Structure 1
Amino acid sequence: MVDVTKWPMFSLMRVQDLASVRKACVFGASANEAIYITNDDEVYVIGLNCGNCLGTGESSSTIVPKKLDFLSGKKVVDFSYGSGPHVLLATEDGELFAWGHNGYSQLGNGTTNQGISPVLVSANIINKKVTKVACGSHHSMALTDSGEVYAWGYNNCGQVGSGSTANQPTPRRVSCCLQNKSAVSIVCGQTSSLAVVDNGEVYGWGYNGNGQLGLGNNGNQLTPCRLIGLQGSCVSQIVSGYAHSLALTDEGLLYTWGSNTYGQLGTGNKSNQLSPVQIMTDKERCEHFRSMFQSHWNEDLKEVIEIDQFSYPVYRSFLEFLYTDTVELPPEEAIGLLDLATSYCENGLKRLCQHIIKRGITVENAFSLLSAAVRYDAEDLEAFCFKFCVNHLTEVTQTEAFWQIDGGLLKDFICRVSRCGAFKN
């Protein structure tokens, strides 16, 4: 169940209706409009109806949840809201629907007529399967299952990425530097756009007056440009606010850039950042202890921290992380460190341990790693190890580690593999 009770607009809903909410998005200037998806994949809206953003086919507001019958039976995989306001929604079948304000053709239907009901967006993407959507204030983006990025709508700052500032009435593929790249994620700021490609590179285009593109300057960008400040990092997730952005790497490092008027970048000041800056809990402390740690640590201290439950390398790495936010440890020792990190609720260290373990997975140790992931509640690592075991099922089931695992886990693994169809003739 999604906890939506923090928003007053849901307070009038019945308990059974609240329990059915699977995914929700609350929007509007005063958080007084919402769209939500139920467990049985029905789409409901509630609240004011500014700019026809509820898509009910009429302009009146509603304090009672109203189902969008036009979308009934279509499983929603992603949706997004733009402050224009307008809404984009992608279904499991790859269809793209839009409604709301359309003064700049942000609905992608080639007109500037308001969309009071969901309309299927088909121009230029009729044979494409849309998997993700993103909304700026008056522009839109869509990502297909083949990694292509499409953009349309208002383009005064180049946020559509076409190389000009002319508005784009229908979806147009964003090419240039993305032509031979496969994108995996897209986000929009107010008048800017960002995309992450499959090798972890990030590209930005559009308005850049506050450095929200992270390019090291504040000039607008009419076509996609790579963020050199993230070179050497593999970005796995990215989000954007009005004029700032955050990126998370596969090693659990967080970078921010752009507008910082309210301290939203977490840098300890209110200065805008034109390039990505790594956020640390206390940078001065980390640098101080990093130097002290590297200068004074030696093997003679081994007996001081040796405790039977964990090995010396595990404790050493734990202390090193606390002082420097880094870990250097072989994959075979990372399981013990994952255990220690779990005991002390060090989620950042847990992410690093999982990254190290993933790099060291083999057929011989895969099932042991899966068992450890289950034991320490490391969901991401568990999913990774399970997929590896399924992909190498014959070899894994012939290893010593497989037959040494307790019966409960073994039974659960066999059931999960069966549901994946691994035992079908």
Structure 2
Amino acid sequence: MVDVGKWPIFALCPHEDLKFIQQACVFGSGNEVLYITKNDEVFVMGTNSSGCLGTGDAQSTIEPRSIVMLSGKKIVSMIMGVDHIWRGVCWGHNAYSQLGNGSHNQSSSSPCQVSHNLINKKVISGVVCGYAHTLALTDEGGMYAWGANSYGQLGTGNKSNQSYPVQVLVEKERIVEIAACHSSHTSAAKSQSGQIYMWGQCRGQSVITPYLTHFTCTDDVFACFSTPAVMWRLLSVEPDDHLTVAESLKKEFDNPNTADLKFLVDGKYIYVHKVLLKIRCEHFRSLLHESDEEMIEINQFSYPVYYAFLEYLYTDNISIAPEDAIGLLELATLYRENRLKLLCQQTIKQGICEQNAIVLFSAAVKYDAQDLEEFCFRFCINHMTIVTQTEAFAEMDSDLLKNFISKASKAGAFKN
């Protein structure tokens, strides 16, 4: 839940109006804001340099002005730039090597390949751009940075600009979200464990390596540390006393006071509601049809796995450690929950390492998780020497081993 009051520009907004804000974005020099009300009306306020507020004139305003053309359009995202110049990847301005192609001060009007460390790596969480630097996240949870570094915004431990991607290490944590802002030299990231890190320009100081904060979301980094205090994305706002339908359902999960069914797993109870289970899952529609049972014992799956599955039915998301996600993948396959199966694969990817890569590859083949299978295979190829020395590789099923070696050979893994 976001408190827009953390951004100084909202001090100009009438207090009563704050209660009706649904989405907001502070941009430019931190003195410009666009916000959307619950009635889907769009308002802007602040400095209007070069007509950036979109009001049709160049007049700045300390009172909210309506943008009739955008009102009622259901805006879902915003992209903010500096002087209408895209200072980031795949082309554009390159004064600080932010194209990442190894060149310096050679801008490009057409797409160019990012060089060196990101070649052959799949970027799954996109790329974010600061004023003159760029961050990218790979499918292995690795973070890379390039471009300007005068404030340490690359997080490399120094202030040297980089003309090609270099990996940024965050205490061996896997990164699941990266953030940078168009008008600042500040960077942020969220780890798999929920930790929020920041680095770069910090209220006049230069933080040259990722610093652990007390925040719970990357947005707070830019509200408190960025100069100017801006937002890096369009934020949704909910009043503290309001719960959406989704939030209400999540709140009732595992609530013994309202539940009419409980599962016994590993000696522990999980409390649920029959009607929701039947609505959300075909397996339960059959299992609970005309059933008066108040308790069902589960022996096939562990407590963390079944808890995560039932929680998914209430929230549409999964929260489970990568090492337990294989069990959830098995459940998703058995219950024919295809979306859950995809989420499991994403979580399992985050926990891959040389020691368990073959185990995960074998599980992916067993449960016909093709995306995970290809991901694990590619990881094994990239770390072949260590992977082939693991105990899991030595104990690999003979038929699977033959297929793996054949496929690896075709991929050129044994050329040397």
Name the TM-score, length of structure 2 as normaliser.
Answer: 0.46
Name the TM-score, length of structure 1 as normaliser.
Answer: 0.45
Considering fraction of residues, name the structure with more strand: 1
